[in-house]
Chains A and B, each alone.
Chain A
Amino acid sequence: MNLTLKVWRQKNAKTAGKMVTYPANDISPDMSFLEMLDVVNEGLILKGEDPIYFDHDCREGICGTCSLYINGRPHGPKQAITSCQLHMRSFYDGQTITIEPWRAAAFPVVKDLATDRSAFDRIQHAGGYVSVNTGGVPDANEIPIPKPIADEAFNSATCIQCGACVAACKNASAMLFVSAKISQLALLPQGQPERYQRVQNMVAQMDEEGFGNCTNTGACEAECPKSIKLTNIARLNGDFLTAKIFKSEEIHA
């Protein structure tokens, strides 16, 4: 297939970017989207031009590194997959494809299609853990957990921290991401001791990073490659409210 790419090129966070058009010829439908970009880049390098920079690593949908906004959608036209899992058979010969980075104030562009998502890490630093040290913990089977609860916690835990939810949201809210971690730990017995403190700390950090408010449009859920559900946000809101009403005294003591 032969395609036309319109790609966002931006040297770094300080310089302005623009869309640049490139042809992508002789593309096999079996290639992954990133392999198609590899081919284009090899061509650019041989011509002495700066290759297109994009973040990626595992190329199998699990590391959360790839983050392309393809034809106006985070991770492209298909549901429940990442950019690296998208294959060229999802496009047609002669198609024009626009490729942009995530757009959000909290995710400044690093170069071309890559953004700085360290804000997500900082939210995790604020409380995304159970405070246990190595060693001195009980036998694993001393903490029985009903299977449906464990499964639900697992569903929340599959978030890959890609940021598509933020990119999809008109307010650039990070609620789906934050609520996934909050939910995982709020569901499990191990997460109870710090439950209300955690939700306050993580939400405070989220606000500080400049993510927008959640207005419940559900765009995040629709674009999340791991099908993280809006029910997580409901759980976060519930815990946040509980923390505010009943626990803030205790927490800030």
Chain B
Amino acid sequence: MELNAKLPEGPLAEKWDKQKFNLKLVNPANKRKYHVIVVGTGLAGASAAASLAELGYNVTAFCFHDSPRRAHSIAAQGGINAAKNYQNDGDSIYRLFYDTIKGGDYRAREANVYRLAEVSVNIIDQCVAQGVPFAREYGGLLDNRSFGGAQVSRTFYARGQTGQQLLLGAYSSLNRQIHLGKVKMYTRTEMLDVVVADGKAQGIVTRNLRTGAIETHAAHAVLLCTGGYSNVFYLSTNAIGSNVTAAWRAHKRGAYFANPCFTQIHPTCIPVSGDHQSKLTLMSESLRNDGRVWAPKTVAIAERLRKGEIKVTDIKEEDRDYFLERKYPSFGNLVPRDVASRNAKEVSDEGRGVGASGKAVFLDFAEAISRLGEDTVAAKYGNLFDMYYQITDENPYKQPMRIYPAVHYTMGGLWVDYNLMTTIPGCYALGEANFSDHGANRLGASALMQGLADGYFVIPYTLGDYLATIGPKAVDPNHPAFAQTKKDVEVRVAKFLSMKKGTKTVNEYHRDLGHIMWEYCGMARNEAGLIKAKGLIQALKADFWKNALVMGENEEINFSLERAGRVADFIELGELMVDDALMRRESCGGHFREESQTEEGEAKRDDENFSFVAAWEYTGENQPEKLNREDLIFENVKLTQRSYK
């Protein structure tokens, strides 16, 4: 299939306006004749469901959580960007656009990113109108902080709980529509397949997680807002339930998967402490505003520290290497995430790491505490410091935090055109589930912005165009595709439930997959390693279907069954990520191919050969996927080697 991103013509700044004018409208009286399914009610899904219902569409929404308010968006800490220029420090829509394109290492579409920057300002207005309690200055106006990859302060925040407050805002709008009867909400319900009838997405198949009931739901369009797939690495900062199943099932029904290997490793997370660990905890990027990253200057000092012969406070100032400040004087501790992560890894690999495992560096607040006082630091970051204290039993007010990079976000996702439609007509992807705006590396505070942009300000316009084209005639739930897709799901569930004689738990397979992905498809990748990983994953997959142990029955809450389905999908996705990483013989953003680096060890792009989006097409069980390319055309920015020196 020919990929058509449907990018509007004309100057960058006029594209979105033009598109909005050219898109067909559904007249107000006809809107109530349409039915839309929204899968996932995090920031992207809740904002979309509420906004579409406000317009008059009938919405049915689903989430696997027991309440929409528990979506993983709730955990976002640091903040949300917007080009408001309230600080008068030189920000503008163009600058936010430029920072995001550059931060993404020139692997995103100009038109999408510009639109994102454009609507960012509306998001803040919307959230404030809902009663979201953003941080304020004494004068009563909104406060901002700065984030990595930018030299202006454009990040709006609500202490270290920004995602929580934004989600509660979207959740409240959703609740209002549920109350008005325009949204029907299904909680503890998992989508297990998309129904594609006559070439269009016309419904989904779900499993009620409490009763096991497998049901079909019909609609004129299906929106997948199901989040990212970081948990393919087993250990990540994502919530335990975050998974790829919805996107992967859609992929197998015809939605292309774009840039799957573009994953973000966040530099400041609490290091792994042992094999029992079930997840990793982020320490927000905002901490790098006031925290200074360092490691001992020499391997010898680091060794003595690791052995407990000296304490961190014994290390003299001149024996500390503030390596980010040293190497990147203009951005310092606020370099983008990919750069900060790679440097922390390098330092640890050299033997200068700290903590028992040697896989950590320091994030130090001593200077900030002496400059601002403990109270001010506590007011800004108190909840993060408490979280750190709970987990490590070390007091970060008294000694520096130990941090290490961890998997955090996935830039890759379902391929969508400018209207957010996947390659299945009528099937859309919003939020982290799509690949659209962050290229090969996402800047901090931009995911919340993108999720809400998609849901509040993009889909309400673009969806109407498709709906107006297909017309309001009700979807036929008796189309054979519904019964067939439901049957497929039932067969798969029955297959899992027959795996009672297995010898290894699903969780162990997940952990094994995570080890493979982290080792060979993590912060640094090379050809030999990736080839090896592919073999290991294929073997793991074969073993899974032979020896995995799944407990219980369908007609009850059964997390063994739920996990089995998710892990089986992760294994398949893992293989595609490795294929993608292998194919992309360049480094860009978070994708670091060791074969392609500058003399200083920075990621080296190959624009001539790889300035494209890789959109993978499923071609059948155990068949290699087909690569489709969408060339990226830059008309406004000049591609350069990123420099944060």
| Residues of A that sit less than 8 Å from B by CB | 11-12, 28, 30-32, 34-35, 38-39, 42, 45-46, 48, 50-51, 53, 55-65, 81, 85, 87, 89, 110-111, 114, 116-118, 120-121, 124-135, 137-141, 143-147, 150-151, 153-154, 157-158, 160-161, 184-185, 188, 190-191
Contact = CB atoms under 8 A, between A and B. Distances in A.
A64 B171 CA distance: 14
Interface in B389-404: 390-391, 393
Contacts of B559: 51, 53
A107 to B, nearest CB: 11
B172 interface: yes
B460 interface: yes
B507 interface: yes
16 contacts: A28-B274, A34-B278, A50-B552, A51-B559, A58-B70, A59-B239, A60-B387, A110-B557, A121-B187, A125-B175, A130-B129, A140-B134, A143-B128, A150-B133, A150-B136, A153-B133
B547 interface: no
Interface stretch (B10-18, B61-69, B213-221, B531-539): B61-69
A108 to B, nearest CB: 11
Contacts of A161: 67, 69
B334 interface: no
A35 B273 CA distance: 12
Contacts of B279: 59-60
A129 B130 contact: yes
Contacts of A128: 172, 175
Decide if the interface of chain A is mainly helix, strand, loop or mixed: loop
B67 A130 contact: no
Interface in B226-269: 239-241
A115 B31 CA distance: 38
The 5 A-B residue pairs with the shortest CB-CB distance, nearest first, are: A144-B140, A129-B172, A137-B129, A154-B133, A140-B128
B210 interface: yes
Contact of A140 (B67, B84, B158, B159): B84
Contacts of B136: 145-147, 150-151
A130 B390 contact: no
Given A143-B128, A190-B131, 5 more contacts: A32-B391, A45-B551, A57-B65, A134-B126, A190-B128
A140 B74 contact: no
B393 A87 contact: yes
Contacts of B141: 141, 144
B66 A147 contact: no
B140 A188 contact: no
A57 B241 contact: yes
Interface in B116-136: 122, 124-131, 133-136
B584 interface: no
Nearest to A31: B276
B505 A57 contact: no
A62 B74 contact: yes
Contacts of B32: none
B78 to A, nearest CB: 13
Contacts of B281: 59-60
A51 B551 contact: yes
Contacts of B179: 125-127
A228 to B, nearest CB: 14
B631 to A, nearest CB: 34
A121 B175 contact: yes
B608 interface: no
Contacts of B505: 42, 45-46
Interface in B307-362: none
